[in-house]
Amino acid sequence: MKLFVVIPAYNEDKTIKRVLEDLLPMELDLIVVDDGSLDKTYKKAHETLDKQPNHGYIYRHIINRGLGASLKTGIEAALLKNADIIVTFDADGQHHPEDIKNVIKPIIDGKADVVIGTRDFNEMPLSKKLGNQIMNLITLIFYGIHVQDSQSGLRAVSRNAAELIDIHSRDYGVSSEIIYEIKKSNLKMKEVPIKTIYTDYSLSKGTDTKVGLKILAKLIRNILK
């Protein structure tokens, strides 16, 4: 069974080397998508992946296209390389590599097509907690699905699910869009608890209250067009 880990990265030169070094010993196939970074993300990722050239691949967007576009690039690349399971993994250092085993197990056991890694909101700083709760509410209102952690960056999808999920969103709204695609395609979804590493750096990334409200406003504008 071929397992690929897709790592979207934009201006992550502070963490990308460590994230990749933590993953390389697991002998997974890694795909980094550098989303037009302006720092040394590409250079550091390339140097680190050279240590395991048969299991590391890097793609680069010439300009910044957004999280959704990066995930789309990475997932399509994994499918072309005959992936059986695809895991998405953030580049900011917030995920534990060991949790990959937790999110792929239901797929291996045939109990799910998609698995979402659910963070503990009680441990999440208030601004992040509010932003993520807003996105959970948006997902429920617009897509009719209640998910404990709709914005989690650690998820696993089977090959069949990856082929059915059609990503259009460019920004952080892609996480809610993936939930909608799961419902539309009648895919089996499970949620499993994961650990999260909070640092000042990781807290500066991802969905906070401001990002959540911007995505909500965008969805409303699209509906009113």
Give the model confidence (pLDDT) of 87-140 as tens digits. Answer: 999 999 999 999 999 999 999 999 999 999 999 887 777 777 777 788 888 888
CB atoms within 10 A of CB 57: 18
The predicted-structure confidence for 179-217, as pLDDT tens digits, reads as follows 989 999 999 999 999 998 877 665 556 555 666 666 666
Q: Which residues of 164-181 are buried (b: 16+ CB within 10 A; e: fewer)?
A: bbebebebbbbbbbbbbb
Give how far the C-alpha of residue 33 lies from the chain's centroid of Cα atoms, to the nearest Å: 12
**With 60 as the cut, is the pLDDT of residue 224 above it?**
no
Residue 119 CB contacts under 8 Å (≥ 6 apart), including other chains: 132, 149, 152, 194, 196
125: alpha, beta or left? (left if phi > 0; alpha if psi -120 to 50): beta
Instruction: Report all structural domains of the chain as residue ranges with CATH numbers, in order of start.
Output: 3-224 (3.90.550.10)
* pLDDT value for 200: 67
Residue 163 CB contacts under 8 Å (≥ 6 apart), including other chains: 79
Angle CA(20)–CA(24)–CA(26) in degrees, nearest 5?
A: 130
Task: Give the mean model confidence (pLDDT) for residues 38-60.
Answer: 91
| Of the candidates 53, 32, 52, the residue with the CA atom closest to the CA atom of residue 43 | 32
CB 175 within 8 A of CB 140: no
* pLDDT value for 14: 95
Element (H, E) at 114: strand 114-118
| Alpha-carbon distance values, 16 to 10, 19, 59, 129 (Å) | 10, 5, 14, 25
